[in-house]
Amino acid sequence: MTTTFERRQAIVRVLGEQPGVRVPELADLLDVSLGTIRNDLNALQAEGQLRRVRGGAVLTRMERGKNTILNQEGKQRMARRAVEMIEDGDAIWLDAGTTIQVLLPLLAQRHGLTVVTNGLQVALQLAASGKHQVLLIGGWVGKDGIYTIGTGNQQLLDTVNIRTAFISGVGFTLEAGLTVLEYEDAQLKQRVINSAETVVALIDASKIGKRGFAPAATIRQLSHLLTDRDISAELLRKLRQAQVNVTICGKKTIRSHTINLGKAKHVIGFANQSETASFAVAVRRGLERAAAARNDIDLVITDNKLSGVEALRVANHLIDRRVDVAIEYQIDHRSGNLIMDKFQRANIPVIAVDIPMVGATFLGIDNYRSGYVAGEALGQWVMQQWQGQFDHLIILEEKRAGDLP
């Protein structure tokens, strides 16, 4: 027979391994009555070791708003992908999670959004920017002071049309789906899901496999899952079967897994020229839209960072990922032959975008021919308008792409 002290220490250990726990679960686990567990939880709450919630308890140190943002780098990668799902003028939902806090500065890239939220800090920060309309859902203020819960004016959610809802939680499993700490928060998320066309869950990998106190969304209620590290093959398979698109925002690559409709999957590696160049981002987004429309393509997206040396590293990474075909969008002509040699030895066909590579299928325009035609047209204009007279001729060229012919 365990002592009261041992039993209460066991409760704290259980809460250390999962975000929240219900009274019946603890009673079964420790083989004591429900009343005994309730007394233990009340005592531990008085000691400041946990916080009672309806039907159970959560660990005090896990309460939101009392810690710095954990795994900020991974959450930033997810946030950068999330903002690309938002178009100017959209109506979106943002909850009060720490991942959403990382997303907020990126919304400066968009204009005229209508943002619905229960996050007090979210509302204040966006309202201060003056770029977007903000609708704050009222209710009781949570104990950490950064969000609202309870009935309040949540009925407003039944009358609005949200294009994309961005939600997060403290746990995610196949069985329970997305889970949160508080029952009222779960109810709010259900109302949001019912009002949204698309539901995007932002879940960093540390929360996958853990279960919070209250279920907030089943996997079939999600449209898209963003996470920051690889997930198990079984979880990926189940998510595809549930028609959930999955994007893994890794440190080196971004993997996009579209829903599985029984078709054979092809893995395409895309080495983008630079994720800081708007035209290159537009190329990548077009490729993602095309892959999503087909439902038989998985994308592995990397960034050449306008560097021939980085492009060589990226080629090695795509080979390690065993892609079926590689799409190279890189600018350094000196690296082209080396990159092609790597892929040819790995028996991976290559499509070169914009800059030709010997041995690759070329996709783009004939830059040299188009430049020549443009030069001829300019010369004719100079002859007609300036009678062939000019003071200076300025030639601009990108040396990394090769010498002018």
Count of C-beta atoms within a 10 Å radius of residue 290: 12
Total tally of structural domains belonging to the chain: 4
pLDDT of residue 153: 66
Same domain, 95 and 213: yes
Cα 138 → chain centroid: 27
Cα 232 → chain centroid: 17
Reported as a single tens digit per residue, the pLDDT across 91-147 is 999 998 888 888 998 998 899 999 999 999 899 989 888 889 999 988 888 766 678
Q: Is-above-0.85 flag for pTM?
A: no
- Indicate whether 40 belongs to any domain: yes
- Indicate whether 67 belongs to any domain: no
Same domain, 122 and 271: no
Inter-CA distances, 150 with 105, 157, 269, Å: 28, 13, 46
Same domain, 300 and 269: yes
Of 200, 230, 248, which one is at a domain's C-terminal end? Answer: 248
Parallel, antiparallel or unpaired: strands 245-249 and 254-257: antiparallel
Of 222, 248, 274, which one is at a domain's C-terminal end? Answer: 248
Nearest to 288 by CA among 305, 272, 308: 272
- Indicate whether 376 belongs to any domain: yes
Same domain, 232 and 92: yes
Reported as a single tens digit per residue, the pLDDT across 235-253 is 888 888 888 888 898 887 7
Q: Of 310 and 403, which is predicted with more confidence?
A: 310
Give the end-to-end CA distance of the chain in Å, rounded to a whole number.
Answer: 88
Same domain, 243 and 291: no
Residue span of the structural domain in which 382 resides: 367-401
Same domain, 106 and 191: yes
- Indicate whether 388 belongs to any domain: yes
Same domain, 109 and 195: yes
**What share of the chain has pLDDT > 70, as a percent?**
91
